[in-house]
Chains A and B, each alone.
Chain A
Amino acid sequence: MPAVTSAKAVFSSDHPLPWLFPLIAMLVVFTIYPLIYNIWLSFHEYAPFRRELEYVGTDNWVALWNDERFWGSLSVTLTYFVVVLIIELVLGMAIALLLDADLAGFGVMRGLLTLTLVIPPAITGMMFLLIQDAEFGVLTWVLEQVGVLDGTAPILSTPSTALLGVMLADIWQWTPFMVLIFLAGLRGLPGEPYEAAMLDGASGWQIFRRITLPQLSKVIAIAVLLRGIDLFRMFDYVFVMTSGGPGTATYTLSLYAWQQTFSFIKWGYGATISLVSLVLILVIANLFIWIAKVRW
């Protein structure tokens, strides 16, 4: 063994630390420190007149537990999460299966899929705000023509339909993302099991359920994970389209945390709400990772 460790030896794969340092530094500065600060913050509150943070114990947590608006926005968030996730999954899978058939022109369509993904969500929100406008919105007009709407209840300003209106923007923008992921998965599947299944007499649905779906389970889990996290912290669409209204019908957790923090300057309380969201996301994400663990 050489007495002096040369620079070459330090920068080898036997000594990973120097290589990991930039990443660790970034994590500490942008993730770990804010997280700890956030936890610390949830036990403090900003006192506007004295212009300083003061310790309030578990006040924020108790208040949160008794805050109807918190529970309301949690329920909005969960509804949004479940409904949009299911629709985007099913629709995305259906379109992916269709495009996988490789008919003439499908190549172009696959290319067009990426288009919605490059539009900033705030712009998409504006588009759907206009489409659903009570006076000149195209969608409003179409729905009135077919008799679904009667002109007295505009989509985005009626409590029962406002969230649906917001979901529409999300589904339009992000279903293609699902399609792309599923298409990549489908393309990677071996062909022989399908031939064997046909000879075994399986129908199209049986083949999908027993051959395709299980083989895609990891891909589906990744899609659910990526989309699910986004859905859970959804902010842009409601901010642009409804500002949480009418009333609190479309108030998501993110929007509520934002309102508490920046409109009401209740930094501690906003941090508490964010922490709860974070924990929920972690639980749900790990649930899906666990589901996606397969033996074959």
Chain B
Amino acid sequence: MATVAYRNIVKSYGAVRVMEDLSLDIADGEFAVLLGPSGCGKTTLLRMTAGLETVTGGDLLIDGARMNEVHPRDRDIAMVFQNYALYPTMPVWENIGFSLEVRKLPKAEIRKKVEAAAAVLNLTDYLDRYPRELSGGQRQRVAMGRAMVREAKVFLFDEPLSNLDAKLRAQMRMEIRQLHDRLETTTIYVTHDQIEAMTMADKIVLMKGGRIEQVGTPDDLFDAPASLYAADFIGTPAINLIEGAVVDGAFKSAGIHLPLPPGTAATAGQRVTAGLRPSDMTLGAAGSITGRVVLAEKTGVEQNVHLDIGGADFVVTAPRDVSVRPDETVQADIPPQKIHLFDSASGARL
């Protein structure tokens, strides 16, 4: 149980600065998800937290105590590495039990804990194998198991499910979340899979190029993205972004005429971008958006209808029983409060 705080963290590799003035608070028992595209500094932040990477500037606090110079061994942190980092010369069960072995727990107790973790991870049949003899997904689960048997202050997960198939991934998502609900250990979880972020997080930290773009609950990020970047990153299918201008108290663009969302601070003539989530819209006979159907993708649960509006691709999610034909002209509508408006130049939410 611990709080983790980052105060004005700076990180450079030689002359290359990869993180600039990053500040973040993670509460005791919180499940925080670091989300962001490849290379934005997620792994770097985790490795600094674990003490495997030096902090160039700023303070790293765990439970309020400065940790910058504390040895990794003494931080009481468990980590699942992005590249697994298994012990090549130990069979699976020794890999999982190593942290208990070095704490001199009785053999029988180690065996019990390892077997319990292996059962959760579907690894029971592989306990005597060596890492070399496992598939990528199996190795990844061994790496998970190594963390699961620990009773650490903080858990760090670096894309722990990236190599699993969809079904196993969904199952492991639940297992991890349940494990967290049971142990209530402060957890920092890295992913670039937004479904993982949305389903598991208490708090999502959206990163971009070594900075934090937005921090909030999954609902915050979905319902009130703080920037164009955040709006674009969250949600599948991706949000529709349309460039236009504010004219006569309304948003105008080719083929689209929308009322301004309530309480918007847009000024007349300003170049703005409207963000419309496919799932917030309805197809119908009448509406403020008119377009030609290009194609309808069935996802099983519903369908994503692609419209051509002034040459731009526009997606509307519709129930699967709505029938649309290519080249048909349709109308779509959206409630005003669901419209997200951003300044086109700065990307900031209006």
Contact = CB atoms under 8 A, between A and B. Distances in A.
Given A199-B73, A200-B98, A296 B132 contact: yes
Nearest to B79: A199
B300 interface: no
A202 B52 contact: no
Nearest to A200: B99
A38 B209 CA distance: 75
Interface string A195-207: 1111111110010
B102 A196 contact: no
Interface stretch (A67-75, A102-110, A210-218): A210-218
Interface residues of A, number: 21
B174 to A, nearest CB: 25
Contact of A201 (B73, B90, B131): B73
Interface in B58-95: 71-73, 75, 77-79, 81, 83-90
Contacts of A202: 73, 98, 102
Interface string B87-121: 11110000000110111000000000000000000
Given A296-B130, A296-B131, A211 B87 contact: yes
B87 A201 contact: no
Nearest to A295: B130
B318 to A, nearest CB: 48
B165 to A, nearest CB: 24
A206 B102 contact: yes
B89 A294 contact: yes
B190 interface: no
Interface residues of B, number: 29
B42 interface: no
Interface string B265-306: 000000000000000000000000000000000000000000
Interface string A213-243: 0110100000000000000000000000000
Interface of A is mostly: helix
B188 interface: no
A203 B98 CA distance: 12
B88 A215 contact: yes
A198 B72 contact: yes
A253 to B, nearest CB: 37
Contact of A199 (B78, B89, B101): B78
B203 interface: no
Contact of A193 (B75, B88, B130): B88
B146 interface: yes
Contact of B89 (A196, A198, A206, A296): A296
B50 interface: yes
A14 interface: no
Most buried by B among A197, A203, A206, A215: A197
Contact of A197 (B83, B84, B98, B103): B98
A215 B88 CA distance: 8
Contacts of B98: 197, 200, 202, 210
Nearest to B97: A200
A87 B244 CA distance: 80
A195 B132 contact: no
Contacts of A199: 50, 52, 72-73, 75, 77-79
A214 B131 CA distance: 14
A198 B86 CA distance: 13
Interface in A147-198: 190, 192-193, 195-198
A195 B85 contact: yes
B292 to A, nearest CB: 53
A91 B130 CA distance: 31
Nearest to A193: B87
Contacts of B51: 198
Contact of B83 (A192, A206, A211): A192
Given A202-B98, A296-B132, A196 B73 contact: no
Contact of A195 (B52, B101, B146): B52
A186 B160 CA distance: 29
A256 B228 CA distance: 88
Nearest to A215: B89
A215 B85 CA distance: 14
Contact of B90 (A195, A203, A210): A210
Nearest to A191: B85
Given A199-B79, A201-B103, A296 B73 contact: no
A57 B73 CA distance: 69
A193 B84 CA distance: 9
B77 A196 contact: no
A192 B89 contact: no
Contacts of B86: 193, 196
Contacts of A197: 87, 98
A206 to B, nearest CB: 5
A200 B79 CA distance: 9
A188 to B, nearest CB: 12
Nearest to A196: B85
Given A199-B78, A203-B102, A193 B72 contact: no
Given A196-B79, A200-B102, A202-B73, 16 more contacts: A192-B85, A193-B86, A193-B87, A195-B50, A195-B52, A195-B72, A196-B86, A196-B146, A198-B51, A198-B73, A201-B103, A206-B102, A210-B90, A211-B87, A215-B88, A296-B132
Interface of A: 190, 192-193, 195-203, 206, 210-211, 214-215, 217, 294-296
26 contacts: A192-B85, A193-B85, A193-B86, A193-B87, A193-B88, A195-B50, A195-B81, A196-B79, A196-B81, A196-B85, A196-B86, A196-B146, A198-B51, A198-B52, A198-B72, A198-B73, A199-B50, A200-B150, A202-B102, A206-B102, A210-B98, A210-B101, A214-B89, A215-B88, A296-B90, A296-B131
